[in-house]
Structure 1
Amino acid sequence: MPFSSPFPPLDIPKVDLLSYIFPPSSTPSDTPIWIDAKNPQHSLSPRQLLQWTKRLGYGLDGLGIKRGDAVVIFTPNHIFVPVVYFGVVGTGRVFSGLNPNYTASEAAHQLQNTEAKVVLVHPSLVGTAIKAAKQINFPRNRLYLFSDHRNNAVHGIKDWRSLTGSFEQGERYTWHRMNEKEAETTLATLNYSSGTTGRPKGVAISHYNIVANIEQTIFMRFLHKKTRRQERWLGFLPLYHAYAQLYTIVMAVKLHIPVYLMKEFHFEDFLRAIQAYKITNLQVAPPILVMLNKRPETTKYDLTSVTDVLCGAAPLSSELQNKVAGRFNLQINQGWGMTETVCGAHHVPGGTKDDSGSVGQLFPNCECKLLDDNGNEVAPGQPGEMYIRGPQVCMGYWKNKKATKEALSPDGWLRTGDVAIVRDGWFWIVDRKKELIKVNGLQVAPAELEAVLLEFNQIADAAVVGITINGEEWPRAYIHLEDCAKGRIKESDIQNYMQTKVAKHKQLVGGISFIDEVPKLPSGKIVRKMLKEWSKRDALALEENYRAKL
């Protein structure tokens, strides 16, 4: 039998996102919510957000952008990104964000796939945007400069404010308030899932999906909290990504929590902002905790204001979780989600102290089942691929019926690709199914080996991937050493260490390669596709050496 949430179902409003945030009877607050971390005098309140949202809606109408058309941003973080998010989604259009690190060809793929009608591009990325537009014959007059201040035209590209309505026109603008059916079926966002193979796929998320996930997440965050104190957040996660959109954009304004926005992540700026603004809560990915655990700069700053950390987006070992929690005297709780669930489906309930590495319990209104390779439910306590069903599960993949059919069953079950175990209603993620390494028929989880490697003091970061040598697959590690260890720590030191830590079939028989940096997405996920390319390259050179050892 599938697992059901242990919590009573929520009554989730079936409304459009803008009406959910700004109900007809509400009065928007003048208190700043989105604050520039570099210049805290530069901010936006909910009232200002709504004014700009309506001005943008008016301007898009005037430009002939229809409901259902996509508007794409190509920008680092800044305080006006929430304006475009709500101005696009709230007026019935579709929001999509490009990774600021994309090449022209990568950007062109997403622009073409979304069928974008307007692109708002940061001045620092204009060159890439022009190249991408040229590749797909996208009209240059639909490119607009987009930053948190007015820009002079560059290469004939005007500032985005030139397309917005006036203040008076915005005041008169009204958006279409959706009925229940429209809220469930109207596309709101297309966030692109990185996947492990092929090009990123657009995940189709409805208004109701977002509202449902906000309601579920709020319930879980405060479930066992005795009081709700005033929180302060630091917005450093990239706003083109689902994780940041849910928290930094939507939940922040829903809960009236101020967020200090960082335009880009630099570790010492991150520490400095925590100290300066007395940040109380952080939403992070595991690489941030690795840095907090390993980097010496942390000792220079007062981080005692932070009491709660939510970690998601990638696997986190209980060892690292507890090291950082103990060192900084704070609670680190995990959650699990994916772009296909808006953001989340599991969460350690707020107010619960968990040090086991669990990703928590199922959200309300949610179901889960764990299946083996034959599609049968696994025995209690055994690992299985996780399937999720709930109101936050996406509508499918944009313009990709094949991928939708592979991931979503007709009765609404989402195949996640993650392997989990469950005990007494609590879930632990083992690894991605596609990333598991098969050693003599036994499964080896890269995340497990990465966690063990990070326990080695001189290792700053590590990634593990399978490598096939003479037809057999083995674990191979790509390791970034601490600066003080470079030239001193040898492969044999790490191999000897691993022999004391893991079983024989988990040893790094595929070898170790020392690298300058583990490749990661801004979300914190390791770029497994690049690791696989490296391992294929390295396999050719290693095969002869391996034969000699047999």
Structure 2
Amino acid sequence: MVVKSPHPDIGIPETNILSFLFGDGLNLPKKELWIDGHDDRKYLSHNSALSWIKRLALGLDRRDVRSGDVVMVVSPNHIFVPVAYLGTVCGGRIFSGANPAFTDDEVCYQMRDTSTRLVLVHPALLSTARKAAVKANIPDSALFLFSDSERASIDGIHDWRSLLAPEKEASLYTWPIYDGPASKSTIAAINYSSGTTGLPKGVMITHYNLIANVSQGVYLREDENGVERWIGVLPLYHAYGQMVLIMSAIKWKAQVYMQQKFDFEDYLGLVQEKRITRLHLAPPLVVLLEKHPSVSKYDLSSVERLGCGAAPLSESTETVVSKKFGTPIGQGWGMTEVTCTGTTCPAGFDDYKGSVGQLVPRSEAKLLDESGKEVQPGEKGELFYRGPNVSPGYWKNEKATGETMLEGGWLKTGDVAIVDEKGWFWIVDRLKACVAYGFQVAPAELEAILLTHPSIADAAVVGLSADFSGQEKVRAYVTIKPQAKGQIREGDIVSWTDSKVAAYKRLTGGVVFVVEVPKSASGKILRKVLREWAKRDASAEGTKARL
């Protein structure tokens, strides 16, 4: 049974994302849009942001960074990251953001994979980006310091403002329109995803994908008066942050207080001081709101709406936090391959505990069992999704595209869901191999790193359920080479691996030595067996902890 969105079909303009967001660029609001969370004097309005966007776009033109070239941003959140995104994409170039926590090897992988042409890097991350650029054969002349205040050059790396065209000249800049098919074929961003299997892959997002997903969200917005005030804590290198804090913020005319570095006490202080009206959350943050003792010290009464995405949230945590704030948590389901959001709880929804809501407008889904047969309402099946927000595929990876983006426009999600008769969805499991630990972790990436250790013969990585938050710890089952037995400990491998990856990819679930990694006759790791091992171990370790 194909489930269709219960909402009416909506019109989706086929144009440049800049035309959709800013129209003709005239008579734009001059009220604060993106604001520094700790200095209200630093802000951009719609009007001033567009001026900066045009200056960057024209500057990139003059530097011969052409349509189809990739501009990478390596930076924490600040008020100019949206400028970098939109100034890059408006002229046909492609934005790709790197996690600020990445090691130089991880940044280098993304630089090489995207053939990055120019890099905007925060001064605090220059050392990492420079090492990565050397490995990727990107010259220093392609790197620019990128922060919210002008910086003196560092070892010949100049401030990004040196790229910008003069304001008067940029005021005459016009972006290409991308009417019709061009909107659907012009790539705006390459956002990295663990996908359903294998190494992280670059997901291509078109101008039309962005416009579709913003339009779907705007349609479902509550009919509210007054100013929306948000905290810009969602990372802007990630699809969730880009959709909410850049695209939706512009269309909703919200005020976004940017938080460069997450600190929970600081976050609570911003909610209280700025009278934040809506919280955009991920499960780890919801757990903090549930359990952290400091929550009771702050006045959070201004919060009217709670939304949670990125991973399923446990029903118990949802119940506690909803009660604290006096409003239900509107959960949603999405993935990078659907631009951001595929299902969400519409305005005025009933309190469907644990549900990720209904399909957004102009989308449909079906659930299939292991034999490929469609299941009935209330039965579990793998979620297949179709809509105008689905990516055209993975960057320079036809094999992965063919395995995930199927005939008829269907996206194979790797998530296992249940849908009821009213079209409400629950995510109950996943077939894809990724581990959910704040952000998704691709086991194949960690396995490849582990296999470079001189004492390791084989390795497999899986998620270990940590608690009832819906999050997992990252565990490795490792086979040691015969000559290394008795010479190396599990903790040694944990420390060695953690030094090579971003914090969220670390082996928080530890290492367990095994005689052999479970594999099929063809040599593929048996992920189902690994999940059974992890479930067994989590239960045993939980019992031991309680004792």
Instruction: Tell whether the 8 Å contact from 1:14 to 1:179 is kept in structure 2 after alignment.
Output: yes
Q: In the alignment, what sits opposite 1:200?
A: 200
Partners of 1:50 and 1:462 in 2: CA distance: 39
Distance 1:333 1:374, change over 3 A: same
Contact 2:196 2:434 in 1 (8 A): no
Change (3 A) 1:13 1:380: same
Alpha-carbon offset, residue 96 of structure 1: 0.6
Q: Name the structure 2 match of 1:432.
A: 430
CA distance in 2, matches of 1:319, 1:345: 24
Counterpart secondary structure, 2:158? coil
Residue 286 of structure 1, CA deviation = 0.6
SS at structure 1 position matched to 2:130 = helix
TM-superposition CA deviations, 1:2-51 (whole Å, max 9, x none): 11111110011111100101112742111110000011111000111110
Letter of the 1:67 partner, please give it: S
Question: Would you say the 8 A contact 1:237–1:523 is kept in 2?
Answer: no
Select 1:336's aligned residue among 328, 333, 337.
333
Q: CA deviation at 1:535?
A: 5.0
Select the residue among 472, 478, 486 that pairs with 1:463.
Answer: 472
Instruction: Determine the structure 2 residue equivalent to 1:362.
Output: 359
Counterpart position of 1:389: 386
Shifted more, 95-104 versus 193-202: the winner is 193-202
Q: CA deviation at 1:328?
A: 2.5
* Residue identity in the other structure for 2:411: L
Q: TM-score, normalised by structure 2?
A: 0.82
Pick the aligned partner of 2:310 from 294, 313, 317: 313
**SS of aligned partner of 2:39:** coil
Alignment partners' CA distance in 1, 2:317 and 2:513: 31
User: Could you tell me how far 1:327 is from its partner in structure 2?
Assistant: 1.8
Structure 1 residues 530 and 382, CA gap change in structure 2 (3 angstroms): farther
| Partner amino acid, structure 1, of 2:428 | V
Q: Which residue of 1 aligns with 2:122?
A: 122
Please give the alpha-carbon distance, in whole angstroms, between the structure 2 residues aligned to 1:465 and 1:170.
Answer: 48
Identity level (%): 44
- Alignment match, 1:157: 157
Contact 2:101 2:502 in 1 (8 A): no
CA distance in 2, matches of 1:192, 1:449: 24
Q: Distance in 1 between matches of 2:465 and 2:128?
A: 38
- Tell me: CA distance 1:280–1:57, structure 2 relative to 1, closer, same or farther (3 Å): same
Equivalent position amino acid for 2:74 in 1: F
The residue number in structure 2 matching 1:187 is: 187
Question: What one-letter code is carried by the residue in structure 2 that aligns with 1:114?
Answer: T
Name 2:527's counterpart in structure 1. Answer: none
Is the Cα–Cα contact under 8 Å of residues 196 and 414 in structure 2 kept in the other structure?
Answer: no
Shift in Å at residue 145 of structure 1? 0.4
1:381-530 equivalence runs, <5 A: 381-424=378-421, 425-434=423-432, 453=468, 463=472, 527=505, 530=507
Partner Cα separation in structure 2 for residue 396 and residue 37 of structure 1? 36
Aligned to 1:215: 215
2:17 maps to: 17
Aligned to 1:245: 242
Instruction: Give the direction of change, closer, same or farther, for the CA distance of 1:465–1:160 in structure 2 (3 Å limit).
Output: closer
- CA–CA separation in structure 1 for the residues paired with 2:159 and 2:256: 25
Cα offset for 1:468?
A: 7.6
- Alignment-derived partner of residue 99 in structure 2: 99
User: 1:371–1:378: 8 Å Cα contact kept in structure 2?
Assistant: yes
Cα drift, residue 531 of structure 1? 6.2
Could you say which residue in structure 2 is the equivalent of 1:81? 81
Query: Are the counterparts in 2 of residues 241 and 523 from structure 1 also a CA contact under 8 Å?
Result: no
CA distance in 2, matches of 1:467, 1:249: 37
Matched, 1:172 2:172: yes
1:255 correspondence with 2:252: yes
Alignment of structure 1 residues 227-242 onto 2, 5 Å: 227-242=224-239
What is the letter of the counterpart of residue 15 of structure 1?
T
The answer on whether the counterparts of 1:70 and 1:116 sit within 8 Å (CA) in structure 2 is yes
Q: What amino acid is aligned across from residue 215 of structure 2 in structure 1?
A: E
Tell me if structure 1 keeps the 8 A contact 2:9–2:361. Answer: yes
**CA deviation after TM superposition for structure 1 residue 379, in Å:** 3.0
Deviation at 1:356, TM superposition (A): 1.3
Secondary structure of the residue aligned to 1:374 is coil
Query: Residue 322 of structure 1 contacts residue 355 of structure 1 at CA under 8 Å; is this kept in 2?
Result: no
Query: Which of 242, 267, 271 is the aligned partner of 2:268?
Result: 271
For 2:225 and 2:114, locate their aligned partners in 1 and report how far apart those are by CA, in whole Å.
40
Cα deviation, residue 435, structure 1: 5.0
| Change over 3 Å in CA distance of 1:101–1:523 after alignment to 2 | closer
Structure 2 stretches lacking a partner, 5+ long: 436-461, 480-493, 518-532, 541-547
Q: Size of the alignment, in residue pairs? A: 476
CA contact (8 A) 2:36 2:78 kept: yes
In structure 2, distance between residues paired with 1:54 and 1:25: 11
State the TM-score, normalized to the length of structure 1: 0.81
Decide whether the 8 Å contact of 2:478 with 2:512 is kept in 1: no
| 1:50-81, Cα deviation, whole Å (9 max, x unpaired) | 10111111110110011111111000010000
- Contact 1:285–1:523 under 8 Å retained in 2: no
Counterpart mapping for 1:526-541 below 5 A: 527=505, 530=507, 534=510, 536-537=512-513
Structure 2 distance, partners of 1:427, 1:145, is: 44
Cα pair 1:348 1:354 within 8 Å, conserved: no
Distance (Å, rounded) in 1 between the aligned partners of 2:360 and 2:383: 14
Shift of 1:434: 3.1
| Structure 1 residue 244 displacement after superposition | 0.6
Cα–Cα, structure 1 residues 523 and 177, in superposed 2: closer, same or farther, change >3 Å? farther
The separation in 2 between residues aligned to 1:14 and 1:239, in whole angstroms, is 24
Q: Is the 8 A contact 2:478 2:511 kept in 1?
A: no
Q: Structure 1 469/33 Cα, relative in aligned 2: closer, same or farther at 3 Å?
A: closer
The structural deviation recorded for 1:282 is: 0.9
User: Is 2:478–2:514's contact at 8 Å kept on the other side of the alignment?
Assistant: no
Contact 1:77 1:239 in 2 (8 A): yes
Cα pair 1:371 1:385 within 8 Å, conserved:
yes
Q: Secondary structure at the match of 1:221?
A: coil
Q: 2:379 corresponds to which letter in structure 1?
A: Q
Match for residue 290 of structure 1 among 275, 287, 291: 287
RMSD (Å) for aligned C-alpha atoms: 2.9
Q: What amino acid is aligned across from residue 427 of structure 2 in structure 1?
A: I
1:245 and 1:537 map into 2 onto residues whose CA distance is 40
Tell me by how many angstroms 1:139 deviates: 1.2
Aligned 8 A contact 1:317 1:448 in 2: no
Task: Give the aligned partner of residue 8 of structure 1.
Answer: 8
Q: Structure 1: which 5+ runs fail to align?
A: 438-445, 455-460, 471-514
Distance 1:327 1:61, change over 3 A: same
Q: Does the 8 Å CA contact 2:197/2:432 hold for their aligned counterparts?
A: no
- Offset, 1:352: 1.6
State whether residues 338 and 389 of structure 2, in contact with CA within 8 Å, keep that contact through their aligned partners in structure 1: yes
- Residue of structure 2 equivalent to 1:145: 145
